Amino acid sequence: MIGVAVLGSTGSIGESTLDVLARHPDRFRVVALAANRSASKLAQQVIQWKPDYAVLADESAVDELKERLSRAGLTTRILAGESGLIEAASLPEAQYVMAAIVGAAGLRSTFAAVRAGKRVMLANKESLVMAGPLLISAARASGATLLPVDSEHSAIFQCLPPNTRAGEKPPGVRRVLLTASGGPFLDWPLEALASCTPEQACAHPNWVMGRKISVDSATLMNKGLELIEAVLLFGLDPAQVEVVVHRQSIVHSLVEYVDGSVLAQLGSPDMRTPIAYALAWPERLGSGVEFLDLIRAARLEFCAPDVERFRCLALAQAAARAGGLQPAILNAANEVAVESFLGRRLNFMGIARVCEAVLARMTGGGACSPQGPGGVQGLSSPQGSIRDLDAVLAADAAARRLASELIPTLEACERGAHA
Ligand code: NDP
């Protein structure tokens, strides 16, 4: 029996992971479940799975969890806060860790799992975007195995030679083609995007996902973060990662080799396939996914993304080229902007503007900033290599502060322009 800790178990990836695990009770045992503050949902999962540990990052929700579990007669050990997440990620009983917390909040626990030498099934792309080189060298040092869960990166990984290791470019690869569904706004008139609602942005045509990644898919920031993720995971130059819009979401990504061969991975758009692959690798496991019917799918279309409309993709491409702390800065600004959009304090087009302004200010550019040029103290040179995790967290915090400051100004300017 393989012990599995599921971090982010109450989310979309967490639930899909538990669905796959439920199909293989003879092979896996859930040893820890972790969430932020969904006490009631986590309690239901604990009652069903009876793990040794349950974690809530938000300490104010812990009493409710305790009460629900004691009413059910369970003596599960309850952990709280970030230290609880780190403990769950490092448990000796868990050989595998599903890193499926959303956003930068997953960084430290993902790191803990890597340092503890686990098989880390990486859904939390933000931790790789923020601190990829550190995460990959920590995996080398501890012997951890980093396996992608993002469907595109799982597709690429499945098309690469079997001995591929995180951070190393496999021989013979010319480039990878990262497919993007294009999100819900692919055909919307540009003028209409400013007034789209969070509900419209979260209504993805092919995938059912959490709200943050749904908005990222609508802005194409998700594809930008995935581009950075691909560069880091597969040891590629950013120029070797091409984004291709493929609205059917059947071809999950492709690898082009120097001899002209192109290998692709296809399947129904269902995250249980990449999750099952990460759990079973190098073998295969049943996932419950509907098998692909190519005749019914009939059409597979591809086109280039419109980087004028989807500015976030262009920003991520630039951050990938710059490297260093720029991806972490971009990620932090995006998280704050997406939260503001979901809270109706920023319009959809403002997400890219906030990211651009924060990057410009923190890299000393300033051309796009509403408040003029100028770097942020201690971050005058975000380019180049990343010193350590503290440098990443400092950049993240500074970018969040700046984004929060800029949002009211940007939103007021935007409203003025439309008045
Ligand atoms: P959801 O929003 O559905 O779930 C997020 C999970 O993270 C929940 O369990 C939530 O707990 C937990 N969480 C949120 N904040 C914190 C915190 N501060 N500390 C601890 N736990 C926290 O997200 P998804 O499942 O959609 O996405 C998870 C990750 O997987 C993201 O990084 C995303 O980019 C990636 N991913 C998702 C895909 C998908 O299809 N959904 C596809 C590919 C990648 P609570 O319920 O208590 O809030």
Read off the pLDDT of residues 125-149 as tens digits, 9 standing for 90 and up: 999 999 999 999 999 999 999 999 9
Q: Whose CA is nearest to atom 36 of ligand 1?
A: 123
Q: Whose CA is nearest to atom 16 of ligand 1?
A: 36
Dist. CA 284–CA 166, nearest whole Å: 20
Ligand 1 atom nearest 101 alpha carbon: 7
Dist. CA 311–CA 225, nearest whole Å: 13
Q: Whose CA is nearest to atom 45 of ligand 1?
A: 36
pLDDT band at 364 (very low <50, low <70, confident <90, very high): confident
Question: In the numeric block, which tokens belong to residue 285?
Answer: 């496991």
- Cα–Cα–Cα angle for 386, 392, 397, rounded to 5 degrees: 150
Cα of 10 to ligand 1 centre, how many Å?
A: 8
Ligand 1 atom nearest 9 alpha carbon: 9
pLDDT band at 373 (very low <50, low <70, confident <90, very high): very low
Cis (ω within 30 of 0) for the bond into 25? no
Ligand 1 atom nearest 15 alpha carbon: 25
Reduced DSSP (H G I as helix, E B as strand, rest coil) percent helix, strand, coil of the chain, to 5:
50, 15, 35
pLDDT the model gives residue 56: 98
CB-based contact 384:323 (threshold 8 Å) = yes
Contacts of 213-217 with C-beta under 8 Å, sequence gap 24+, read 213/12, 213/102, 215/338, 215/341, 215/342, 215/351, 216/312, 216/334, 216/338, 217/181, 217/183, 217/184
Contact residues for 65 (Cβ-Cβ < 8 A; gap 6+): 39, 42, 43, 46, 54, 56, 78
Ligand 1 atom nearest 211 alpha carbon: 2
Cα of 48 to ligand 1 centre, how many Å?
A: 20
Q: How large is the average pLDDT for residues 346-364? A: 95
Whether residue 384 has pLDDT greater than 70: no
Q: Whose CA is nearest to atom 32 of ligand 1?
A: 124
Q: How large is the average pLDDT for residues 80-105? A: 98
Q: Whose CA is nearest to atom 26 of ligand 1?
A: 210
pLDDT tens, residue by residue, 152-165: 999 999 999 988 98
pLDDT the model gives residue 308: 87
Among the listed residues 47, 46, 55, 59, the one whose alpha carbon sits nearest the alpha carbon of residue 8: 55
CB under 6 Å to ligand 1: residues? 8-14, 35-38, 57, 85, 100-102, 105, 123-126, 150, 207, 209-210, 212-213, 271
Ligand 1 atom nearest 222 alpha carbon: 34
Cα of 103 to ligand 1 centre, how many Å?
A: 7
Whether residue 385 has pLDDT greater than 90: no
Q: Whose CA is nearest to atom 21 of ligand 1?
A: 36
Ligand 1 atom nearest 103 alpha carbon: 32
